[in-house]
């Protein structure tokens, strides 16, 4: 969130968002009728894991720019590495992009769609003396690359004739050589200060089955050799990626300049990747958390994956709002995870029906309330949404309240229940604590109160007290398993670890607490992903583990403020 982004418009009225640097570039390109004014972006995930909130940022950016400028955005799987990629990931990525509310229409592509074309271009480069087969090991090749301040060493195979290269490359393709024995390299410049220009590898031998091309190929293009050409083949105009690819840009341009003879080029622009406090974002690390059993799968509600956030109770709107507020930066920074939580609160505050849930229940008996009587009280479904109407909540002689809403010896500022004190039960009556009962261990098992029948909410009663509590009728309460999440990591920058340790040592051992709650009966029949505000406690979402006879909730986020402390109604 950056207030500097908000500038007054000419008439000084409505604040209008200033253009981010990509929007400024695109508007300039449109003005100049570059690419006939077309705007065509793409989101290019590698299907080697589930998408995370950083990808969500990139999705919102690429699809969002296309939407804003009447352009198009492709979904393209960068599937050049068969050993790490899986169909499960492809499916999850498509689900996540759709769930965020974006549509690639008929523009679903795979880098593997271009394997044939990329191969043809490799042959062209060999014929023109711009690529050669190197028989050295990967280690040796990387050693010879040298360091940025000193030129690398040329491979002894660099001067091979085009005929010999052609022959060897065909035999690589035909499966004559084992993995790792040869590579095809571009012949560029072993002295370039840009290490990526020092004869980069184009193809490696991998006798591996590809999720789409099966065993058709045993040589696979490197990501760098495929990426820019894929953009070219799809007619991408603005090829947006994260900063670490800035240094790859000259290589992408070199490839196109050496194989394409028309003028059109996709232009690459880099922005800073999203980093979030208390979060790790690399897919490699997320995979490790999953496979090491540190979390329960990619969609564990503690994970920063889109599917984890969905299960946690985040809405697509809240994530899009977050992406918008984060903006587009050119320099690396770390965004406070609190901003993400702020966005989901904002959204759910408007949408989530309110209910009563007691997560650490203690029983209250209202001794002067008739036994067996039930009153169906009217409460707002959502005071933020006038359309939402009201709900019926049963009130009886025995209710649950939160254990910490009672104190035996409360301090002066404690406006909740204590011996001789009064509180209002939200939407019901004022009650007064007359007595309480302990078990042998000293735990309070029952609080005994009286109620004032003249104080029913909505009856016009004048009497006010400072505290207001939520409650659930004992005979009507539904039982639910409630999973309370805290941050997955206990340090703000979990990637930074002490010597000899790693990010896993920064995991928060208390990131999940499971309690058994008592819930208002109106939630009966709620289905997975339905969201509620448990009044005074936070936003909660029905977990897919819910079955016909077991309700499971995930806490999405706590509330920042509660009416119990500020209102006496
Ligand atoms: P990771 O580093 O988390 O493994 P990646 O960059 O390897 O991610 P890709 O599947 O290659 O993952 O990414 C697809 C697109 O998402 C790329 O354009 C990439 O730049 C973008 N992206 C990935 N991580 C972030 C992030 N943290 N913030 C913004 N964009 C991101
Ligand atoms: Mg990547």
Q: Indicate if ligand 1 lies below 6 Å from the C-beta of 81.
A: no
Nearest Cα neighbor of 390 from 270, 285, 522 is 522
How many angstroms does the Cα of residue 46 sit away from the middle of ligand 2? 6
Q: Are 422 and 430 in contact (CB under 8 A)?
A: yes
Q: Indicate if ligand 1 lies below 6 Å from the C-beta of 274.
A: yes
563 pLDDT more than 70: no
5 pLDDT more than 60: no
Same domain, 198 and 295: no
Q: Indicate if ligand 1 lies below 6 Å from the C-beta of 288.
A: no
Give the pairing of strands 430-438 and 361-366: unpaired
Structural domain that includes position 464: 357-470
CA 18 to chain centre: 26
Same domain, 326 and 380: no
Q: Cα–Cα distance between 482 and 541 in angstroms, integer?
A: 10
Sign of torsion over alpha carbons 283, 288, 291, 294: negative
Q: Indicate if ligand 1 lies below 6 Å from the C-beta of 281.
A: yes
The pLDDT assigned to 4 comes to 44
Tokens 């956030």 belong to which residue? 309
**Is 310 inside a domain boundary?**
yes
Counting the structural domains of the chain, the total is 3
How many angstroms does the Cα of residue 172 sit away from the middle of ligand 1? 31
**Is 490 inside a domain boundary?**
yes
Same domain, 539 and 448: no
Q: pLDDT, tens digit, for every residue of 24-72? A: 999 999 999 999 999 999 999 999 999 999 999 999 999 999 999 999 9
Structure token pair of residue 123: 């042959």
Alpha-helix residue ranges (DSSP H) falling in 293-391: 306-312, 316-326, 337-351
Q: Indicate if ligand 1 lies below 6 Å from the C-beta of 522.
A: no
The pLDDT assigned to 548 comes to 86
How many angstroms does the Cα of residue 411 sit away from the middle of ligand 2? 56
225 pLDDT more than 60: yes
The pLDDT assigned to 8 comes to 43
Rg of the chain taking only CA atoms, in angstroms: 31
Same domain, 494 and 544: yes
Burial class for 459, CB neighbours closer than 10 Å (0-12, 13-18, 19+)? exposed
Same domain, 427 and 561: no
Same domain, 221 and 153: yes
pTM of the model: 0.93
Q: Cα–Cα distance between 505 and 489 in angstroms, integer?
A: 9
Angle, helices 223-233/115-127, rounded to nearest 10 degrees: 110
**Is 6 inside a domain boundary?**
no
Q: Which of 20, 51, 55 to mutate to test the pocket of ligand 1 (most atoms within 8 A of CB)?
A: 55
Q: Of the residues 443, 470, 497, which one is the last residue of a structural domain? A: 470
The pLDDT assigned to 554 comes to 98
The pLDDT assigned to 564 comes to 46
Q: Cα–Cα distance between 200 and 132 in angstroms, integer?
A: 11
Q: pLDDT, tens digit, for every residue of 155-200? A: 999 999 999 999 999 999 999 999 999 999 999 999 999 999 999 9
State which ligand 1 atom lies nearest to the alpha carbon of 57: 29
Q: Cα–Cα distance between 519 and 530 in angstroms, integer?
A: 15
487 pLDDT more than 60: yes
How many angstroms does the Cα of residue 198 sit away from the middle of ligand 2? 21
Q: Which of 239, 273, 274, 327 to mutate to test the pocket of ligand 1 (most atoms within 8 A of CB)?
A: 273
Give the residue-averaged pLDDT of 421-431: 97
Give the residue-averaged pLDDT of 309-314: 98
Burial 408-447 (b: 16+ CB within 10 A, else e): eeeeeeebbbbeebbbbbbbbbbbbbeebeeeeeeeeeeb
Question: CA-based angle 255:258:261, to the nearest 5?
Answer: 120
The question of whether 46 is a catalytic residue gets the answer yes
How many angstroms does the Cα of residue 51 sit away from the middle of ligand 1? 8
Q: Indicate if ligand 1 lies below 6 Å from the C-beta of 131.
A: no
Output the residue whose Cα is nearest ligand 1's atom 22.
55
Q: Which of 242, 276, 287, 322 to mutate to test the pocket of ligand 1 (most atoms within 8 A of CB)?
A: 242
Q: Indicate if ligand 1 lies below 6 Å from the C-beta of 280.
A: no
Q: Indicate if ligand 1 lies below 6 Å from the C-beta of 44.
A: yes
Which one of the listed residues 23, 46, 317, 324 is annotated catalytic?
46
Q: Of the residues 271, 289, 314, which one is the last residue of a structural domain? A: 271
241: phi then psi, degrees, rounded to nearest 5: -145, 180
The pLDDT assigned to 66 comes to 98
The pLDDT assigned to 303 comes to 98
Q: Indicate if ligand 1 lies below 6 Å from the C-beta of 45.
A: yes
The pLDDT assigned to 220 comes to 98
Structure token pair of residue 550: 């077991």
* Distances in whole angstroms, Cα of residue 291 to Cα of each of 2, 49, 488: 38, 12, 16
Same domain, 412 and 466: yes
Same domain, 318 and 376: no
The pLDDT assigned to 549 comes to 85
Q: Indicate if ligand 1 lies below 6 Å from the C-beta of 273.
A: yes
How many angstroms does the Cα of residue 438 sit away from the middle of ligand 2? 60
**Is 291 inside a domain boundary?**
yes
How many angstroms does the Cα of residue 45 sit away from the middle of ligand 1? 7
**Is 328 inside a domain boundary?**
yes
> How many CB atoms within 10 Å of residue 203?
23
The pLDDT assigned to 85 comes to 81
> DSSP letters of 74-91?
EEEE----TTT--HHHHH
Q: Are 539 and 313 in contact (CB under 8 A)?
A: yes
**Is 26 inside a domain boundary?**
yes
Kindly give, in sequence order, each residue whose CB lies less than 8 Å from that of residue 179, ignoring residues fewer than 6 positions away. 204, 205, 206, 207
Same domain, 166 and 280: no
Q: Residue 520 maps to which CATH number?
A: 2.40.240.10
Nearest Cα neighbor of 307 from 482, 554, 548, 559 is 554
Which one of the listed residues 38, 273, 363, 487 is annotated catalytic?
273
**Is 68 inside a domain boundary?**
yes
Same domain, 231 and 366: no
Q: Residue 117 maps to which CATH number?
A: 3.40.50.620
How many angstroms does the Cα of residue 26 sit away from the middle of ligand 2? 25
Q: Of the residues 439, 470, 501, which one is the last residue of a structural domain? A: 470
Same domain, 465 and 506: no
**Is 4 inside a domain boundary?**
no
Output the residue whose Cα is nearest ligand 1's atom 25.
54
Same domain, 45 and 62: yes
Helix (H, G, I), strand (E, B) or coil at 379: strand
Helices and strands in the chain: count of H runs, count of E runs: 13, 27
Q: pLDDT, tens digit, for every residue of 318-349? A: 999 999 999 999 999 999 999 999 999 999 99
Instruction: Name the band, by pLDDT with cuts 50, 70 and 90, for residue 15.
Output: low
Kindly give, in sequence order, each residue whose CB lies less than 8 Å from that of residue 129, ignoring residues fewer than 6 positions away. 162, 187
Instruction: Name the band, by pLDDT with cuts 50, 70 and 90, for residue 565.
Output: very low
Q: What is the chain's mean pLDDT, rounded?
A: 94
The question of whether 536 is a catalytic residue gets the answer no
């Amino acid at each position: 969130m950056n207030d500097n982004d908000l500038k007054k418009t000419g008439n000084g009225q409505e604040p209008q968002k200033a253009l981010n640097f990509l929007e400024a570039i695109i508007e300039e390109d449109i003005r100049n009728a570059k690419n006939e004014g077309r705007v065509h972006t793409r989101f290019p995930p590698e299907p080697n894991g589930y998408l995370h909130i950083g990808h969500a940022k990139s999705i919102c950016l690429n699809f969002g720019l296309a939407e804003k400028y009447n352009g198009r955005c492709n979904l393209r799987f960068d599937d050049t590495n068969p050993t790490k990629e899986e169909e499960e990931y492809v499916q999850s990525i498509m689900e996540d992009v759709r769930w965020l509310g974006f549509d690639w229409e008929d523009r679903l592509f795979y880098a593997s769609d271009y394997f044939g074309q990329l191969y043809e271009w490799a042959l062209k480069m060999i014929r023109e003396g711009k690529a050669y087969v190197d028989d050295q090991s990967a280690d040796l090749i990387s050693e010879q690359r040298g360091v940025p301040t000193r030129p690398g060493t040329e491979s002894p195979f660099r001067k091979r004739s085009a005929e010999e290269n052609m022959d060897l490359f065909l035999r690589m393709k035909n499966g004559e050589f084992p993995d790792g024995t040869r590579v095809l390299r571009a012949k560029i410049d072993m002295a370039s200060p840009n290490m990526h220009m020092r004869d980069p590898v184009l193809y490696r031998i991998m006798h591996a089955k590809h999720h789409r091309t099966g065993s058709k190929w045993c040589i696979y293009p490197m990501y760098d050799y495929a990426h820019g050409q894929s953009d070219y083949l799809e007619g991408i105009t603005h090829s947006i990626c994260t900063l670490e690819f800035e240094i790859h840009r000259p290589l992408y341009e070199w490839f196109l300049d050496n194989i394409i003879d028309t003028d059109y080029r996709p232009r690459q622009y880099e922005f800073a990747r999203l980093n979030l406090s208390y979060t790790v974002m690399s897919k490699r690390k997320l995979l490790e958390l999953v496979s090491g059993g540190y979390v329960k799968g990619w969609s564990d509600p503690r994970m920063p994956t889109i599917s984890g956030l969905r299960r946690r109770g985040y809405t697509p709107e809240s994530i899009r709002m977050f992406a918008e507020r984060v903006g587009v930066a050119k320099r690396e920074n770390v965004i406070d995870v609190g901003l993400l939580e702020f966005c989901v609160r904002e959204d759910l505050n408007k949408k989530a029906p309110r209910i009563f849930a007691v997560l650490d229940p203690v029983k209250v008996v209202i001794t002067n309330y008739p036994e067996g009587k039930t009153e169906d009280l009217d409460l707002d479904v959502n005071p933020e949404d006038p359309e939402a109407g009201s709900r019926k909540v049963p009130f009886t002689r025995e209710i649950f309240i939160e254990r910490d809403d009672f104190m035996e010896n409360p301090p002066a500022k404690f406006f909740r229940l204590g011996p001789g004190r009064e509180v209002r039960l939200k939407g019901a009556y004022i009650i007064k604590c007359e007595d309480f009962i302990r078990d042998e261990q000293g735990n309070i098992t029952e609080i005994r109160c009286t109620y004032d029948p003249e104080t029913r909410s909505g009856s016009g009663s004048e009497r006010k007290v400072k505290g207001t509590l939520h409650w659930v009728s004992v005979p009507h309460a539904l039982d639910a398993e409630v999973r309370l999440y805290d941050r997955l990591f206990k340090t703000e920058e979990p990637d930074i670890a002490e010597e000899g340790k790693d990010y896993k040592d920064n995991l928060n051992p208390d990131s999940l607490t499971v309690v058994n709650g008592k819930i208002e009966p109106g939630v009966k029949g709620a289905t997975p992903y339905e969201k509620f505000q448990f009044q005074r406690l936070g936003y909660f979402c029905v977990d897919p583990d819910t079955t016909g006879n077991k309700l499971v909730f995930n806490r999405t986020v706590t509330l920042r403020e509660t009416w119990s402390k500020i209102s006496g109604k």
